[in-house]
């Protein structure tokens, strides 16, 4: 088997733009879901979600709902049942 000489791989550095989540706001109280981790590098959000996909037999046929809820509001909702 002959070795192939002169083969060249060209590379190019590319900048990939990524979306970084800076903040998450609770849909109920409007407060940030960001938690203090004690580190500037570690950004942590704590939240729950309320999701619904209403169908024909509901009063909101075709409505898709996705709400982000902070820890405080989440348990307010759970505990108020």
Contacts with Zn ion by CB under 5 A lie at: 26, 28-29, 70, 73
DSSP conformation class of 45: E
Helices (H) and strands (E) in the chain, counts: 1, 4
CB of 64 to Zn ion, least distance (A): 21
Q: Given the complex with Zn ion, which of 28 and 43 has the nearer CB atom?
A: 28
Query: Which residue lies nearer to Zn ion by CB, 46 or 58?
Result: 46
Integer Cα distance of 57 and 15 in angstroms: 49
We find the least distance from the C-beta atom of residue 62 to Zn ion, in angstroms, to be 27
Residue 22 structure tokens:
């800076």
Whose Cβ is closer to Zn ion: residue 28's or residue 34's?
A: 28
């Amino acid at each position: 088997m002959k070795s192939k000489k002169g083969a060249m791989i060209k590379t190019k550095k590319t900048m990939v733009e990524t979306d970084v989540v800076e903040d998450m706001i609770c849909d109920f109280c409007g407060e940030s879901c960001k938690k203090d981790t004690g580190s500037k590098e570690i950004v942590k959000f704590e939240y729950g979600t309320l999701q619904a996909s209403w169908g024909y037999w509901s009063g909101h046929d075709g409505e898709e709902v996705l709400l982000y809820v902070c820890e405080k509001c989440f348990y307010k909702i759970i505990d108020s049942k």
